[in-house]
Amino acid sequence: MRTITRFLRTCITCALFVPGLANAAQSTLDVPCGRDGALTFGFLPLVSTEKLVQRFAPLVHHLSAELGTPIRIETAADFETFIRRTNNDKRYDLLFTAPHLFYLARKKAGYHLLVSVDSRGMSAVIVVPKNSQIETIKDLAGLKLATVDPLSLATLLVRKQLEDNGLDPDADLNLVTTPSHNASLLSSYYGATDASSLMMPPFKVANPGVRESMKIISVTESTPHMPISAAPWIDPECRDAMVAVLLAMPSTPAGREALKTAGFRGFVKSLPDIYDSLIWAAERIDTE
Amino acid sequence: MTQGKFSFFQSLRFRLIAGVVTIEVVMLSLLVWSNIRIIHTTHADRLQDTASSLLEQIADTSGSYMVAVDYASLQDYLNKVVNHKELSYVVVLDRDENPVVSLGNTPAQPWPRVDSHPSAVDDAVFNASRAIQVSGEPMGKMLAGFSLAQMESAIHKARFRGIVIAVSEIFLTVVATVLIGLHLTRRLGVLADAAESVGAGDYSVVVPTETADEVGKTATAFNRMVGEVSSRTGLLEQEEGKSRRLLAENRQLVHASLDVQEEERKHLARELHDELGQCITAIQADAELIRDISAGRDERVEASAGAILDVSSRIYDGVHSMMARLRPGILDDLGLVAALKDDISAWMQRNPDTSCLLHATGQLDNLGERINITIYRIVQECLTNITRHAGASKVTIDLAGEIDRLLLKIEDDGRGLPATMPAGGLGLIGMRERVESLGGEFSLDAREGKGLSIMISVPLTGEEAQA
């Protein structure tokens, strides 16, 4: 009986999704996707919780409405907790995390890649005030550089960038950890540190007054953009439906509005293997 | 006329004090009640504002912890900030209504009903609730209980203070009112005592006029009035004395006149009997002799003698009747009862449609001439009045001689006296005067259509027979 039911569901899903993802996204599912009737969507604490909710709530609402399933936003107090909840506690049904953390999640907890943010890639930048005498990354020797969480991709990219430029991040300069990208940016803006490191996207959407008074002295290598993945216990049918909804977002006014609030152009379907390039970063934080 | 002693509760003093104290008690009670209500409302509103602002502050901050599922930090945060002394418990519920942080005396589930206002609380704890949101996204709910003990204690203290102040004020008001009332009413009391003395006839009273206020003016006017009343009363008493003397003299004259009248009647009756009666008897004797001599001889002489006999006989009857009315000889010869019976018998012959019964009881002999003639004349006058005015069918006369008094009651079933008629005509006045001349009492009971009843009581001293 269950086999027949699953077959019928698959047929319905195919009938809905195969002809066109956009059309398929207009319908809701007949089966519950969440374990308790609701999905938990874990977001990496990129920014403060309030800003995080503010930024991604429209996206979650859109997805929830399209799927017909309640979705709850969750995050964690810090990267370490988030990683533990993702990989060990298996707390999140959906996951929006950094590329290198997705690599770990996929490897350790079996998360399935749904979509990636439609972008050419992500880089971290090192910025200093425009009136600063610092011109190159090598000038940072002996100075204070603000970073975000040590486990963040930005910090890992910057550390790698420093090492590639002959600087030992733990010996040649003083890394000052701040709670967020914005905090890192403001720390050099207000003179608490000599320079700031953060990801390029947060820098681009920072306060214009602050952003325009800063200059970029170094850009790290580019990485694949942020992925959205699903836990292995999520029904494939649900995963397909989610993919359809996410990919179709630019085609609906509500979807476009949610994307605009999130700061994304859209999502693209990509292969999970592209995140294997971040194995070096994953290995650095994988303490287990 | 005396007012009599009035009780303390009727006094102006008591009413003044009681009125002021009552008003004071009522107004202060209302004031205290109003203040307590205001205090209660103020404290309740203050607690609600406190609860609202505290929950708002905590809920706003807790949102970040909730979305990060960082309950340990949330508990640390709440432990630091939640130190409000009225706060009984705090429970943070997640989006599934599961408690994730509990502080204080957390109630057992099911969670208590949220109270709309501290004044609507029925379990001594004001239960409040607030949704935890982050950017409008629901993250859970916060329940908090605020003990009303502190509020109740504050209200109790305020109520106690209010009652103490009110009681003190009432006490002071009572004391002040009593003192002022006593001061004000003391002079009124003097005035009232003076008025009472004047009422009792003491016109020598003078009320002191201590001040020029209303009481002082009243005292001055009272003294002036007492002087005027005293003067006029003196004059009135003089005139009343004169009138009383004149009345007494008049009565004496009336009584003397009655006595003289009776004496004249008696004398006239004797004269009629002695003089005219003898002549008529002589005429009748001569007429009989002439009739006897002329019988069979001269018819004309015989007829004339017979006519003389008839005329003289009618004259005799007329004289006899006049004598009886002037002075019934039977009264002197056979006494009061026989005279009354004779008079009643004659009256009934003249008034065959009316029955008259005489009931004579007790000792009625030796009542004396004055009493006998007085009772006889009264009965005679009554029967005459009944004949003229009453139209009665039945008359009852009760005469009773008791040890110390003589009672006479004459009743008829006639028309009585109309209500508009004065208490008596000249006949009744004459009866009253006759009775009072004997020191007796005369009373009349007459209603229109109900007959007439006359009651007479004459004192007997035992010496009447000598009068």
Distance CA B450, CA B454 (A): 13
pLDDT in tens, A112-129: 999 999 988 889 999 999
Under DSSP, the state recorded for A223 is B
Query: What is the average per-residue pLDDT within A34-44?
Result: 83
Angle at B262 between CA B429 and CA B252, to 5 degrees: 55
Chain B: residue nearest A70 by CA? B95
For B186, list phi and psi in degrees, rounded to 5: -60, -45
CA angle (A67, A70, A74) in 5-degree steps: 120
Sign of torsion over alpha carbons B49, B55, B58, B63 = negative
CA B405, B410, B416 angle in degrees (round to 5)?
A: 140
Query: Coil, strand, or helix at residue A257?
Result: helix
A259: its two tokens: 């994307």
- Pair of tokens at residue A143: 């100075």
8 Å CB contact of B135 and A57: yes
Tokens 């202060």 correspond to what residue?
B28
What residues are paired with A216 via a beta bridge?
Answer: A127
- List, as own/partner pairs, every contact residues B177-180 make where C-beta atoms lie below 8 angstroms and the sequence separation is at least 24, other chains included: B177/B16, B177/B17, B177/B20, B177/B21, B177/B24, B178/B17
d(CA B82, CA B89): 9
* Nearest CB partner across the interface for B67, out of A49, A85, A91: A49
Calculate the alpha carbon distances from A275 to A121, A278, A288 in Å: 11, 6, 20
Q: Are strands A227-230 and A112-117 parallel, antiparallel or unpaired?
A: antiparallel
Bridge pairing between strands A39-43 and A94-96: parallel
Residue A32, pLDDT > 80, answer: no
The DSSP line for A69-131 is: S-EEEE--SSHHHHHHIIIII---SEEE--HHHHHHHHHHH-PEEEEEESSS-B-EEEEEETT
Question: How buried is residue B188: exposed, middle or buried, by Cβ count under 10 Å (0-12/13-18/19+)?
Answer: middle
Q: What angle do CA A167, A169, A171 make, to 5 degrees?
A: 85
Encode B203-226: b = buried (16+ Cβ within 10 Å), e = exposed: bebebebeeeeebeebbeebbeeb
Please report the ipTM that was assigned to this predicted complex. Answer: 0.77
Confidence of residue A8 (pLDDT cuts 50, 70, 90): very low
Cα B108 to chain centroid, rounded: 75
| φ and ψ of B253, to 5 deg | -65, -45
Q: Which of B61, B69, B100 to mutate to test the interface with A (most CBs of A within 10 A)?
A: B69
Our CA-based measurement puts residue A81 at a distance from the nearest CA of chain B, in whole angstroms, of 9
Is the Cβ pair A45, B73 closer than 8 Å?
no
Q: What is the pLDDT along chain B (467 residues), one digit of tens a residue?
A: 444 556 777 777 778 778 888 888 888 888 888 888 888 888 888 888 988 888 888 888 888 899 888 888 898 888 887 777 888 899 999 988 889 998 888 888 888 888 888 888 888 889 999 999 988 888 999 999 988 888 888 888 888 888 888 888 888 888 888 888 777 778 788 888 888 888 888 888 888 887 778 878 888 888 889 888 888 888 998 999 999 998 888 877 877 887 788 788 888 887 887 888 888 888 888 889 898 888 888 888 888 988 998 998 888 888 887 887 777 778 878 888 898 998 899 899 988 888 999 999 988 888 888 888 889 889 988 888 888 888 888 999 999 988 889 999 999 988 887 766 555 566 788 888 888 888 899 998 877 778 889 999 999 877 665 55
Range scoring the smallest mean pLDDT among A12-26, A29-43, B17-31, B317-331:
A12-26
d(CA B79, nearest CA chain A) in Å: 18
Chain A contact present for B63, CB below 8 A: yes
Instruction: Determine the residue of chain B that is closest to A57 in CA distance.
Output: B137
As a whole-number percent, the residues of chain A with pLDDT over 70 amount to 86
* Alpha-carbon distance B68 to nearest alpha carbon in chain A (angstroms): 4
Among chain B residues, the shortest Cα distance to A45 is held by B68
Q: How far apart are CA A275 and CA B399, in angstroms?
A: 154
For chain B positions 85-144, those within 8 Å of chain A (CB to CB) are 95-96, 134-137
Are the CB atoms for B438 and B392 separated by under 8 Å? no
Among A141, A129, A119, smallest CA distance to A222 is for A119
Q: What is the DSSP letter of B326?
A: H
Q: What percent of chain A has pLDDT over 90?
A: 70
Instruction: For residue B67, give the chain A residue with the closest CA.
Output: A74
If DSSP codes are grouped into helix, strand and coil, which group holds residue A51? helix
The predicted-structure confidence for A135-165, as pLDDT tens digits, reads as follows 999 999 999 999 998 989 999 999 999 999 9
Q: What is the mean pLDDT of chain A?
A: 86
Q: Identify the bridge partners of residue B456 per DSSP, sorted by sequence position.
A: B408, B442
pLDDT of residue A134: 95
Length of chain B: 467
Query: What pLDDT is attached to residue B407?
Result: 92
Q: What are phi and psi of B457, to 5 degrees?
A: -130, 125
Beta bridge partners of B144: B90, B128
- What is residue B399's predicted lDDT score, i.e. its pLDDT? 92
Rounded to the nearest 10 degrees, how much is the dihedral formed by the CA atoms of A12, A13, A16, A19? -120
Query: A280, A160 in Cβ contact below 8 A?
Result: yes
pLDDT for the residue numbered A287:
55
Residue type, B133: Q
pLDDT value for B426: 62
Contacts of A36 in chain B (CB under 8 A): 96
Pairs across A and B, CB distance < 8 A? 42
**Chain B touched by A54 (CB under 8 Å):** yes
Nearest C-alpha neighbor of B71 from the set B94, B87, B88: B94
Of B73, B135, B136, the CB nearest to A77: B73
Using DSSP, state whether B444 is helix, strand or coil.
strand
Q: Is there a contact between A76 and A85 (Cβ–Cβ < 8 Å)?
A: yes
CB contact set of B441 (below 8 Å; sequence gap of 6+)? B435, B456, B457
| Cross-chain CB nearest to B67 (options A53, A81, A85) | A53
Residue A243 pLDDT exceeds 50: yes
Best CA proximity match to A81, nearest among A67, A97, A94: A97
Q: How many angstroms away from the CA of B133 is the closest CA of chain A? A: 10
Q: How far apart are CA B393 and CA B451, in angstroms?
A: 10
pLDDT tens-digit profile of A79-113?
899 999 999 998 999 999 999 999 999 999 999 99
**DSSP state letters, B1-56:** ----PPPGGGSHHHHHHHHHHHHHHHHHHHHHHHHHHHHHHHHHHHHHHHHHHHHH
Q: Is the pLDDT of residue A18 over 50?
A: no
Q: What is the dihedral of CA B147, B150, B153, B154, to 10 degrees?
A: -130
Give pLDDT, residue A31: 53
Contact criterion met (CB < 8 Å) for A48 and B64: yes
Are B420 and B447 in contact by the 8 Å Cβ rule? The answer is no
Average pLDDT of the residues in A251-269: 93
Residue B122: the pLDDT is: 81
DSSP class of residue A140 equals G
Q: Do B134 and A53 touch (CB under 8 A)?
A: yes
Position with higher pLDDT, A228 vs B152: A228
- The DSSP symbol for A278 reads G
Q: What is the pLDDT of residue A167?
A: 95
Q: Yes or no: say if B80 and B154 are a contact pair by the CB < 8 Å rule.
A: no
SS3 A5: helix
- Tokens 């030992």 correspond to what residue? A168
**pLDDT the model gives residue A3:** 43
Q: Which of B455, B344, B348 is nearest to B400 (CA)?
A: B455
The residue that leads in pLDDT, B278 or A196, is A196
Judging contacts by C-beta atoms under 8 Å, the chain B residues touching residue A85 are 69
**Is the CB of residue B142 less than 8 Å from the CB of residue B11?**
no
Q: Over 50: is that where the pLDDT of A23 sits? A: no
CA separation for the pair B104, B83 (Å, rounded): 10
Cα–Cα distance measured from residue B322 to residue A89, given in angstroms and rounded to the nearest whole number? 157
**B95 to chain A: which residues are within 8 Å by CB?**
72
Helix (H) or strand (E) holding B394: strand B394-401
Q: Do A50 and B64 touch (CB under 8 A)?
A: yes
Q: How far is A244 from chain B (nearest CA, A)?
A: 25
The pTM (predicted TM-score) of the whole model is: 0.56
With CB atoms and an 8 Å threshold, state whether A49 touches B63.
yes
Q: Is B67 on the interface with A (CB under 8 A)?
A: yes
Residue-by-residue DSSP string for B182-248: HHHHHHHHHHHHHHHHHHTT-TT-------SSHHHHHHHHHHHHHHHHHHHHHHHHHHHHHHHHHHH
pLDDT of res. A2: 42
Inter-chain contact A52–B95, Cβ cutoff 8 Å? no
CB nearest to A75's CB, from B68, B96, B135: B68
User: Are B136 and A57 an interchain contact pair (Cβ–Cβ within 8 Å)?
Assistant: yes
Contact: B135, A53; criterion CB under 8 Å:
yes
CA of residue B288 relative to chain centroid, distance: 80
Cβ contacts of B67 on chain A, cutoff 8 Å: 49, 52-53, 73-75
